[in-house]
Chains A and B, each alone.
Chain A
């Protein structure tokens, strides 16, 4: 059975932390499960937890403005898999989820209370620096992938006839 500390160690955001620091973060964590199709959180909800995926796949969706009545359109902007984090807004102000998280399959997560995590990071600046550094690296990689996809999807329209 994988412990919370082991899960955090495998997560890029927390992997640089020392054993003691991991222990402090793991002590705030709670394991949760969601079934396929369930929404872990909705866009616009208060961001109260940061989640690390232990198993499963989660789609992050953005709600588009309604162009037709009764049909709410959402577009998937990211897919989160094992050992990745969901719900950064719990750490970053204004602490409101900017996307909706939908489970594509049964999902097991490690849920870390946002308020307690922020207090831990504030009280331990070294830990805070490492966690934010890890978060920036994840964001950079996703931005790179997003740009790659944008360019690839636009390229056919720019090719000469």
Chain B
């Protein structure tokens, strides 16, 4: 008997956020069963009609109309998430905060930058998958408050920018130490030892920095 894929409704006024939610679902083999859900009224109607396994809701969803200059017009996200959670306790409801800032910035659109959903656990932002959430034992009707977070495989530019002063200082000191050793051994005339020791020390310093900034495989971003 074929295992049924996870059925998910995603709701956001912003196309780039809808794409991000769709990526999250499809990366886990799930199926988005709704298209263009842009407001809370439609999200609630479709959820009641199709009874999906998961509903992913943008916290900035308007009730009916979203006004560009008025933040107050986008207060529907929490309301529809709470309503769904109360009416359909077996459904997982994920209320996502800040997706429009994290998916539409340069940071989010960079193909080397992979973003993921995370939630606060024990005071720390912890990434999670929809499958983990669905099979989690505990409170089946709990509404999950989630954030969008960059995965560890961020772009080279972001990795370099994210290096702390301590990382740079330590890496530089080791590299300088290696260079000093090279010159010291050169002065002593031990050319072979010089080449090996210097190369090892320089390599250690560069390796320390490279380990922090080497590109890793990230999710394809859809613009």
Residues of A within 8 A of B (CB): 35-37, 57, 59, 61, 71-79, 81, 102-106, 142, 145-146, 148-149, 152-153, 156
Contacts and interface: CB of A to CB of B under 8 A. Distances in A.
B10 interface: no
B202 interface: no
Interface string B72-115: 11111011001100110000000101100000000000000000
Contacts, number: 68
Interface of B: 59, 63-65, 67, 70-76, 78-79, 82-83, 86-87, 95, 97-98, 119-120, 123, 143, 145, 147
Contact of A105 (B64, B82, B98): B98
Contact of A59 (B75, B120, B123): B75
Contact of B82 (A35, A74, A142, A145): A74
Contacts of A35: 120, 123
A31 to B, nearest CB: 15
Contact of B97 (A57, A72, A75, A78): A57
What's the dominant secondary structure at chain B's contact region?
mixed
Contacts of B63: 153
Contact of A76 (B70, B76, B97): B76
Given A36-B97, A149-B67, A78 B82 contact: no
A145 to B, nearest CB: 4
A102 B98 CA distance: 16
B87 to A, nearest CB: 7
A53 to B, nearest CB: 14
A104 B97 contact: yes
Given A105-B98, A142-B72, A148-B70, 14 more contacts: A61-B78, A74-B79, A76-B76, A76-B78, A78-B75, A102-B78, A104-B97, A105-B147, A145-B71, A145-B72, A148-B67, A149-B67, A152-B67, A153-B63
Nearest to A74: B82
B72 A105 contact: no
A142 B71 CA distance: 10
A57 B72 CA distance: 13
Question: What 6 pairs between A and B have smallest CB-CB spacing?
Answer: A36-B145, A76-B75, A145-B72, A37-B145, A105-B97, A149-B73
B145 A71 contact: no
A75 B79 contact: yes
B79 A76 contact: yes
B72 A153 contact: no
Nearest to B75: A76
A153 B64 contact: yes
B15 to A, nearest CB: 21
B71 A104 contact: no
A82 to B, nearest CB: 12
A104 B59 contact: yes
A160 B145 CA distance: 41
A59 B78 contact: yes
Nearest to A36: B145
Contacts of B64: 153, 156
Given A36-B120, A37-B143, A104-B145, A153 B70 contact: no
A36 B76 CA distance: 17
Nearest to B69: A148
Contacts of B97: 36, 57, 104-105
